[in-house]
Amino acid sequence: MTAQSRTFLHVEQSASRRRWVHALDIRAEAAASRIAQLHSIPDMVARVLAARGVDPDSAGAFLDPTLRGLMPDPSTLTHMDQAAARLADAIERKEQVAIFGDYDVDGAASSALLARYLAYFGLRPAIRIPDRMTEGYGPNPRAMGDLIEGGASLIVTVDCGTGSFEALETVAARRVDLVVLDHHQTGSLLPPAHSIVNPNRQDDLSGQGHLCAAGVVFLTLAAVSRELRRRGHDNAKLPPLMDDLDLVALATVCDVVPLQGFNRALVVKGLATMRHLRKPGLRALAEVARLSGPIDTFHLGFLLGPRINAGGRIGEANLGTRLLMTEDDLEARALAEQLDLLNSERQAMERVMLDEAEAEVRAEIGSGEGPSVLVAARANWHPGIVGLLAARLKERFSRPAFAISFDATGRGTGSGRSIPGFDIGRFVRRAVKTGILVKGGGHAMAAGLTIERDRLGDFRALAEEQARRIVADLMASESVAIDAAMSASAFTPETYALVEKAGPYGSGHAAPIFALPRHRLVQATPLPTGGHIRLMLKSADGAQVSAIAFRAEGTPLGDALLASRDRAIHAAGTLSMDRYGGREKVTLRVIDIATPKD
């Protein structure tokens, strides 16, 4: 019997219109028992691992991943050796190197990672982060010209460049070498460059397509160090790459790439590095974000990452990179406070825009199911926030979503976010190929685009044509996989510590979901901002647990919660540790509820 065929707590349709199923089928149950016996680990940890497909024989290595055991040979990536050799040449010749990065966390971390490595040898690379509003994503001819005029003999693009034909042709015409370190999906044609290291280029057979850009940069720097050793450089005088794993972990989590294999090792070891907060920028940012307790993936994704992103969204694009580069405590504090302020402004703008986007989508859906792919567009939205709008719409309506902002000329800048099973990057590239989009690209879960207003109807039609059957099937089969049932009395630091042993959690290694059967909802209070609902659940034995449903107000889940006050419900969610005021309290992040059957 498969896990999907076994309903959990007999929930066929929850408040979010999803079926609750067992995360473990009979085979996984057996695997969990074997994991517990082989490695002498608690049953709860074994069940979490088995539900995520961890092989019993490799469970020990999974719980303690090592870079040495999981790191691929950098040379398996196409063009890696020639890129490493060119960077080694630049180091030995003390060349002027320029770095062109993206304006998100991955771009900022990748730029800082490369710049810090070069600075170790006394180089002072120029760093250019494009302005989202005036330049858009990726290299452009003017920016490349500026870097060349500034004396660069080698330009390295990070987290961008694979699809930038016009800009890279400009560099080639000026006879300046250019190295691309990227991870975005691409077609068979590539722009001219000295080398393009991208595990997602079609002729790359390394199998490392899950890496974010910072992961690619890390492998590249490992290859550069190896090349320098081959040339006779003393290993003891090479940069300590492990010291910058905090930047790689930050980018890996924030770019929502799968936390599996080498990526997971990077995050596990990177978190260990980050908890020391040796970099002034990260230390200052943690302080302004009021971060408490040991740093985990939640802190990276929801506290630190959004603040770094805020500069690229609505402020100066290079603020994040400057923060990650600085060694000055005073500068770090000033930059962190500026990013914190920008993040607050971004949140206020996002709330207004989200209300407008949801109103547009609800009008389009009406009383029916609505389109398979949501496309919300307006002329007054900030282009730097459309990606967040798309993500919120996707979360709220459980289907792929685009948000597009049009300027005064009628040209729109948009972002899309998808659900597992619909490759939104591939769809956007198809729309570019048909001429509907001016340009666009991305990966399976996220994409960016440029479109003229008069092609918006064509874009919506193509989206419906390409996605209708796929998305309908995905939505019809949507379920919540429950790892285990537990009571409010089990919400202890000891239980939380057990669950965390199988972490860190994120994309590709989801946090376990627990169900609280027949707990009375004694409190459901909407918070003033954010659409969150604070909850209190009480078990039959009188134990209580605090809970929260993020961004639930106005959703089917939120409506069900507010209508279920003082009633018995089944609640499902993930565990969280609240360390406010120095006290530890385990809470529940509610993702769904259901009405118990009599």
Residues of the chain with CATH 3.10.310.30: 369-477
3.10.310.30, 2.102.10.10, 3.90.1300.10, 3.40.50.800: CATH of 369-477: 3.10.310.30
Burial 19-49 (b: 16+ CB within 10 A, else e): bbbbbbbeebeebbebbbeebebeebbbbbb
Q: Say what the pLDDT of residue 4 is.
A: 55
Q: What is the pTM of this model?
A: 0.91
Residues 6+ apart with CB under 8 A from 519: 487, 488, 537, 538, 539, 545, 568, 569, 570, 571
Strand partners, 523: 536
Q: Say what the pLDDT of residue 455 is.
A: 97
3.40.50.2020, 3.90.1640.30, 3.40.1080.10, 3.30.300.30: CATH of 70-242: 3.90.1640.30
Kindly tell me the sign of the dihedral angle through the C-alpha atoms of 132, 134, 138, 139.
negative
Q: Say what the pLDDT of residue 396 is.
A: 87
Q: How far apart are CA 242 and CA 413, in angstroms?
A: 38
* Ranges of H-type helices in 404-552: 424-433, 456-476, 493-500
Question: How far is CA 155 from each of CA 143, 170, 497, 513, rounded to the nearest angstrom?
Answer: 11, 12, 46, 46
Residues of the chain with CATH 2.40.50.460: 3-61+480-594
3.40.50.300, 2.40.50.460, 3.40.50.970, 2.170.260.10: CATH of 3-61+480-594: 2.40.50.460
Q: How far apart are CA 63 and CA 264, in angstroms?
A: 10
Residues of the chain with CATH 3.90.1640.30: 70-242
Q: Say what the pLDDT of residue 6 is.
A: 81
Q: Say what the pLDDT of residue 443 is.
A: 81
**Which stretches in the chain have pLDDT values below 70?**
1-5, 367, 581
Q: How far apart are CA 309 and CA 57, in angstroms?
A: 40
End-to-end CA distance of the chain: 26
Token digits of residue 460: 């919506």
